[in-house]
Amino acid sequence: MSARKIIIDTDPGHDDAFAILFALGSPEELEVVGITTVAGNVPLPLTSLNALKVVELAKRTDVPVFAGCAAPMVRKLLTAEHIHGETGIDGADLPHPVTPLQKEHAVNFIVRTLMEAPEGEITICTLGPMTNVAMAMTMEPRIIPRIREVVLMGGGFFEGGNTTPAAEFNIFVDPHAAHKVFASGVPVTMAGIDCTYTAQMTPEWLQKLRNTGSHAAVQAANLADFFRQYGSHKFPTEARPIHDACVTGYLLAPEIYEQRMCHVTVDISSPVTIGMTVVDWWGVTGNDKNCNVLRRVDADAFFALMLERIGSLP
């Protein structure tokens, strides 16, 4: 069976780096046709720089990187240096990349790739705000039925929000973009914080990652050490979620996730709950079930697979 073709849309970000390395370490199952960057965890120049650093770390400079939207569709940009550090990937010693960004804008690349590929061939994996994808849908609506699936890290329901009481960061940064994608009719799978909070990396697992001897794995572990210490301290142990990697894990092993088809909409009107992903978990509205919601993951299976794949990189 041929590898599944994906575009990774991202705002690196420590957990974005793990998701990208996880995918690049799985070439038999996943063909990364391009990486598109968006403003989110840090501003666009840094997310683009970081994406280039990660592909060079993986020694996969054959994967092109395209810079995208520098701001959300409507709102002012909110960034997360308090979680990811000033560079967005503090903690690892990664050299300045020599690989250039592509000249084509990320939105144009998404549109062109989808229009040129057979219908249903390309999956889009969004690890940050969904601005690029929503702008591509706005620019060329004909791409919508051509998308195989959008798999995103974002949102939540049972755990509330991690940026406001109601909203998770990726959705809150550009709720209008997320609303457009969820309402588009494209198949959507959501790895929200309800799921990602069940995928918590431990110091012991990070030592196993280092013990692989892979340079990429060692640098990933260094990233994770910073992310664990500098990031959220609301968890009662030393373990911390590695959110975005759950997207890659789902593409590789969907069977290790608890899933349910639900109707999901994104609030774009309330000043209190804007950016909330409203999940009709019990089907009380009768609305069409437009989203495959990932509720939790088998953490042992997930981390074993990620250890194998990142550990296989040079």
Residues carrying an active site annotation: 243
Cβ neighbours of residue 148 closer than 8 Å, sequence gap 6 or more: 120, 121, 122, 123, 187
Q: Is the dihedral of CA 75, 242, 272, 185 positive or negative?
A: positive
How far apart CA 305 and CA 231 sit, in angstroms, is 24
In this structure, the number of other CB atoms found within 10 A of the CB of residue 54 comes to: 32
Question: In 3D, which of 183, 305, 217, 206 has the Cα closest to residue 254?
Answer: 305
The pairing of strands 240-241 and 200-201 is: antiparallel
Q: Taking a C-beta distance cutoff of 8 angstroms, is the pair 58, 21 a contact?
A: yes
Q: What token pair was written down for 295?
A: 């509720």
Q: Taking a C-beta distance cutoff of 8 angstroms, is the pair 47, 37 a contact?
A: yes
